């Protein structure tokens, strides 16, 4: 989870460019949120899955 927002990070070894994704999506989200003075949090859900929370400052 520590590396999930790093550019070009793929958590699963089976994921590559041919199966989809370059590992940039969450890195772009993190940088976009920082530019807007917000933040993003990723956490595992108890019953499985991933929760991404975007916190905007108004």
pTM of full prediction above 0.85:
no
Return the pLDDT at 22: 81
pLDDT bin (cut points 50, 70, 90) of residue 12 is: low
What is the overall mean pLDDT for the chain? 87
Find the mean pLDDT for residues 28-56.
Answer: 96
Q: Is the pLDDT of residue 15 over 70?
A: no
Contact 27, 7 (CB under 8 A): yes
Q: Which residues 6+ apart lie within 8 Å of 6 measured at CB?
A: 27
């Amino acid at each position: 989870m520590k590396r999930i927002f790093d550019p070009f990070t793929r958590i699963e070894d089976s994921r590559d460019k041919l199966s989809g994704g370059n590992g940039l999506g969450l890195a772009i989200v993190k940088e976009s949120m920082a530019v807007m003075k917000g933040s993003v949090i990723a956490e595992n859900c108890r019953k499985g899955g991933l929760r991404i929370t975007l916190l905007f400052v108004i």
